[in-house]
Amino acid sequence: MAARKGATRDWVRFSYTDPGYDRPGAELAKHWPRLHRGDAERLPDVRRVAATCRRGSEARKLVVVDGDDATLAAGVQDAWRAFHRGDFEAAWNAGRELGPLGASAAVKAAGVYATYLAESGAAAEKLLLEAVALAESAARACPDYANAHYFHAFALGRYSQRISVLKALAAGHAGRVRQSLERALELEPKHADAHLALGLYHAEIVGKVGGVAAKVTYGASAASAEKHFEKALALFPGSPIALMEYGNGLLTMHGEKAQARAVALYEQAAACRPEDAMERLDVEQAKAELG
């Protein structure tokens, strides 16, 4: 089947080039556990790809490039290599043609790019909506694949932040985000990034509607937010994004009262040694917050 053409958009290049972010050949597998400690994604080798595509015909339908399982596995790994070195356009374009496992690389690339690099707000929102749809397709095809649900919540959460939390609440996006995150955690209880995202879910609702309304209407609370933030850091100590988002969440909920704690978390994030392009962007953002 011919590869589908992506929408035309001008992608801003990742500027913090570092040869250490490239993981050619066996280097990807060697560094995989550290690179994916946050999202708990398993190495997409031939066995993993074959098992995923055997779960149902829908999974195979999402593969729109020709080749056997070995070819598919190599393609998914290359999509992740592109993501880790900061070539988010390549990760998006390749990953979304490679089935549910490739969709994870594509959606993560879209979310990071839209958050940190996209210059056009409209283009970023369009990209995120495409990523939401892709993740939804992956979740339908592989309902027991934790990251299909997590990355749906990830993309929809990023989109909701761009349109404002209040608009997202009115549109019902918050409930969909929470449902996807809870499903991801049912399947993968030690998913650090899902705990982090669920912490943000609670924090942003508390910050926008207040503690009482958050609890009564959405089942959200500051205590739950902090519990999930702490769990994320326990699962992935030294994660720059977890440290930074914990600080953001505290400020969202508590304002100036939490400034000292937030600054301390930003300082820890800024001092982290980034292992790939995403972490470099997280660290640079933490430095900017301190500045």
Q: Where are the domains of the chain?
A: 20-189, 191-291
Distance CA 151, CA 24 (A): 25
DSSP string across 128-155:
HHHHHHHHHHHHHH-TT-HHHHHHHHHH
Dihedral (CA of 271, 273, 274, 279) sign: negative
The second-level CATH assignment, the architecture, of 20-189 is: Alpha Horseshoe (1.25)
Give the SS3 label for residue 68: coil
State residue 230's pLDDT score: 98
| Amino acid symbol at 225 | A
As a whole number of angstroms, the distance between CA 16 and CA 85 comes to: 9
Phi, psi of 269 (to 5 degrees): -65, -40
Res 58: pLDDT? 76
Instruction: Write the burial class of residue 2 (CB in 10 Å: 0-12 exposed, 13-18 middle, 19+ buried).
Output: exposed
Q: Rounded to an integer, what distance in angstroms lies between the CA atom of residue 133 and that of residue 107? A: 10
Whole-prediction pTM value? 0.93
Q: Tell me the C-alpha distance between 198 and 227, whole Å.
A: 10
- pLDDT tens digit at each of 291 positions of the chain: 333 444 446 899 999 989 999 999 999 999 999 999 999 999 999 999 988 876 556 787 788 888 889 999 999 999 999 999 999 999 999 999 999 999 999 999 999 999 999 998 999 999 999 999 999 999 999 999 999 999 999 999 999 989 887 788 888 898 999 999 999 999 999 999 999 999 999 999 999 889 999 998 889 999 999 999 999 999 999 999 999 999 999 999 999 999 999 999 999 999 999 999 999 999 999 999 998
Q: What is the pLDDT of residue 222?
A: 96
Q: Cα 107 to chain center, whole Å?
A: 7
Give yes or no on whether 20-189 and 191-291 have one common fold. yes
Decide which of 2.40.50, 3.30.70, 1.25.40, 2.30.30 is the CATH code for 191-291: 1.25.40
